[in-house]
Structure 1
């Protein structure tokens, strides 16, 4: 029914989410704002998490979205734990958790806990938050991890997650973190599907948002040229950005519309589960997921390493 150009309103047409409660991280701009707006517009009670609450309030007000806000800095485990504690203290359950927040292609940086910034923020922050609030997720609930075609840049490196012995590259680190997002969904889904809680990973597509703020214009143009060349080789049309409502559509579809058994433990893009599992390296011009991102042994190993890194067992 839906595809690359579908919007949030397309996939939620006729859907009444009254009585549903949703947590969305990263609601201060872009996809997070649109995801929260669309879900709230269709009746859901939405809780938005953001590092900068003032910025989030302004962005949500401009979008006409009325949601509750909680403070969350994914680059600080102290903040993550405080956020989880606050949510748990309310005792209010969630039907859907959408892990939307993230950073991309940063220069070499560390989180407040000393983790490589992209792996620490995109993966370890969400890993800790979602596991800590797991008891709040209702039986039959859904977890949606925002990954990216960028996962095809790199598998995780569990021997050197913080680039202490390997050369740091901004997109190599991004690839590791986005692969980790898929693997987390695979293992979380395996652990919790017995009570009907399913987890999935989504690639929203190429969208012009603040996510690219660490990239220079030259870097961005070079990436687009590479995609254009690949599309020409394969006989496809020119690369086109998605709009923000189109980019948020797959998150909304996977969380609130798609069949749970269809998406559980899978990788989705353009509002469907991808059927293309490929060993090809990064190619944002075509669909597909790398086999290492869906490998259950890889997912279990990442889980164990993540527990070791954050100092908690789940």
Structure 2
């Protein structure tokens, strides 16, 4: 009988008794927070992990524990990847393809949140450009390395409920900029990318899913003011229906559980093209409340996903 996991499950609980020896996994964003814990747990269970990070010096120091806890043949190697630069993205992807070693699992974990209005080196709004377009190009360039039976896990967020993607004005050239609207657009894009990637590759035995790790205090919140986290928590709890329990932040090991559950344990048919949270596939919900669970229908719409894919190709000047 399979185990049941939930919001408070940790990555170690999810992977208890699982041997990942011989598996090769790529994780972006291994210099902090969720990326480090994801890499640590996978390597500790025998996986060969390729960790991608913008700052290799920072990543090398941050992942000392990953290497120390690697077991059963597991290990970690680092590659340089700046998702805010398509030149860096393409160089990293081309080097992996030239190396030729395939992957069983790719976890698009890296990202930025609620940053002031700024732009990537290629002129894209920073959150959409980093969280979506950078991963869009990187993943599509290494798709030849995905084994049959492999999976792509894109980290999204409940923040996708802040906003749908705006295919007419992705760079806020005509729309007033809002940090969280921009974040919501990018997180919706992560889900839609999963939907279309899954549609394109499932016949080859390659599946994709998006996950919400939960609310977690990591470096992702560095752009918020000192009292920003508490203000968000207060707003979320004020919106919750009367009688419902208060929203609680997760620990980092709890925050990585859904990623690993969706990438390793869950049945491919169950999670392919879906959005997962708290170690289960989320239901579609509508309405204004932000943090009660579930996924907006616009984030799973297959035609919307195809349109985003086409717009993304147009923006990066590359067809996949």
Question: TM-score, normalised on structure 2?
Answer: 0.96
3-state secondary structure, aligned to 1:217: coil
Equivalent residue runs for 1:115-264 within 5 Å:
115-231=124-240, 233-264=241-272
The alignment covers a number of residue pairs equal to 311
Measured after TM superposition, the shift of residue 229 of structure 1 is 1.3
Q: Report the RMSD for the aligned CA atoms in angstroms.
A: 0.9
Structure 1 partner of 2:36: 33
Q: Is the 8 A contact 2:14 2:260 kept in 1?
A: yes
Measured after TM superposition, the shift of residue 32 of structure 1 is 0.2
Match of 2:55 among 34, 52, 55: 52
Structure 2 partner of 1:307: 313
3-state secondary structure, aligned to 2:17: coil
Q: Is the 8 A contact 1:153 1:282 kept in 2?
A: no
1:267 equivalent to 2:270? Answer no
Q: Is the 8 A contact 2:151 2:206 kept in 1?
A: yes
Question: TM-score, normalised on structure 1?
Answer: 0.97
Q: Is the 8 A contact 2:166 2:185 kept in 1?
A: yes
In 2, Cα distance between equivalents of 1:280 and 1:219: 24
Q: Is the 8 A contact 2:40 2:65 kept in 1?
A: no
3-state secondary structure, aligned to 2:13: helix
In 2, Cα distance between equivalents of 1:246 and 1:17: 20
Measured after TM superposition, the shift of residue 282 of structure 1 is 4.8
Q: Is the 8 A contact 1:149 1:282 kept in 2?
A: no
3-state secondary structure, aligned to 1:299: helix
In 1, Cα distance between equivalents of 2:288 and 2:125: 23
Q: Is the 8 A contact 2:29 2:109 kept in 1?
A: yes
Structure 1 partner of 2:15: 12
In 2, Cα distance between equivalents of 1:264 and 1:107: 34
Measured after TM superposition, the shift of residue 283 of structure 1 is 1.1
Q: Is the 8 A contact 1:183 1:293 kept in 2?
A: yes
3-state secondary structure, aligned to 1:138: strand
3-state secondary structure, aligned to 1:54: helix
Measured after TM superposition, the shift of residue 166 of structure 1 is 0.4
Q: Is the 8 A contact 1:199 1:264 kept in 2?
A: yes
In 2, Cα distance between equivalents of 1:48 and 1:265: 24
CA deviation string 1:154-213 (max 9, x = no partner): 000000000000010000000000000000000000000001100000000000000000
| Structure 1 stretches lacking a partner, 5+ long | none
Q: Is the 8 A contact 1:102 1:121 kept in 2?
A: yes
Match of 1:106 among 111, 115, 120: 115
In 1, Cα distance between equivalents of 2:53 and 2:131: 13
Q: Is the 8 A contact 2:239 2:289 kept in 1?
A: no
Measured after TM superposition, the shift of residue 145 of structure 1 is 0.2
Divergent runs of 4+, >6 A: none
Structure 2 partner of 1:281: 288
In 1, Cα distance between equivalents of 2:288 and 2:220: 22
CA deviation string 1:9-46 (max 9, x = no partner): 01001111111100000000100000000001111100
Q: Is the 8 A contact 1:150 1:282 kept in 2?
A: no
